Amino acid sequence: MAPPRFYCPGKFTAGQAIELPANVAHHASRVLRLKQGDSIILFNGNGGEFQAAIGNISKNGVAIVIEKYLDIERESPLVITLAQAVCASEKMDWLVQKAVELGVSSIQPLDTKRSVVRLSGERAERRMKHWQQVVISACEQCGRNRIPQVLPLISLADWLGTQVKEWKNLRDGTLSNLHFLLSPTAKKGLRDFPEASATTALTLLVGPEGGLTSEEEAAALVSGFISLRLGKRIFRTESAALAAVAAMQMRWGDY
């Protein structure tokens, strides 16, 4: 059985003895019931991971000893930004978790005209922090040693404005950076992009439960997005995003 993995920010060296952060210590000792001498893996989000062993468990915390650094990377060659219209809480949590497992590099929550969930102010900040914790937990589970970022919530219109600037700044006309808009009315599927074998960066825009409005889709197309369809069936928003990411990993990534 593989040692449990924990995210622990900081700099570590072989032979170093440290105290685990309170939340990590609680999970290790109270939830997983680990004992003195048990092996664990730590990662700090900067790449690679650290093999360690539990030295002492007390009511005041958990002390461990760093044994060695392991130069292990599990990132996809694709840099995928998932721009997802915010959906209902449980759906969004599940979507964020699975997107991390599938290898996305960052998640951009969007506010759209048909968004069912409306977030602003402190409530929005709390949800961003919550989703970032979901990301960390997913990394602990799936083996990733770099933490994808949940970007601040932004309206679709404002976000598309930033995409236009980025699109105009591309150095050439190659398809190494593709921007896809999922749409049930699109004519093309991933099989229609064989020339994109050198793709290294992808941006995937997915609408809310009720879909994007025609005006929003038009704005995305003007901003450089390519309309993309996933087969002949209509997916729910949380299914569409994950199906598309999995298919892109199969076509151009590490599957």
The average pLDDT across 36-46 equals 95
The average pLDDT across 163-175 equals 57
Write down the pLDDT at residue 176: 62
Write down the pLDDT at residue 175: 47
pLDDT digits (tens, 9 = 90+) for 196-234: 556 688 999 999 998 999 999 999 999 999 999 999 999
Could you tell me if 212 and 87 are in contact, meaning their C-beta atoms sit under 8 angstroms apart?
no
The average pLDDT across 123-130 equals 91
Domain ranges in the chain with CATH number 3.40.1280.10: 79-252
Q: What are phi and psi of 179, to 5 degrees?
A: -115, 115
pLDDT digits (tens, 9 = 90+) for 56-107: 998 889 999 999 999 999 999 999 999 999 998 789 999 999 999 999 999 9
Q: How far apart are alpha carbons 196 and 104 in whole angstroms?
A: 18
Return all residues near 98 (Cβ < 8 A) that are at least 6 apart. Answer: 138, 242
Q: Among 188, 189, 240, which Cα is nearest to 212's?
A: 240
The average pLDDT across 2-28 equals 93
Write down the pLDDT at residue 19: 93
Domain ranges in the chain with CATH number 2.40.240.20: 5-70
Q: Give, in words, the CATH class of 5-70.
A: mainly beta
Residue linked to tokens 């759906």: 91
Write down the pLDDT at residue 1: 76
Write down the pLDDT at residue 168: 57
Q: Give, in words, the CATH class of 79-252.
A: alpha beta
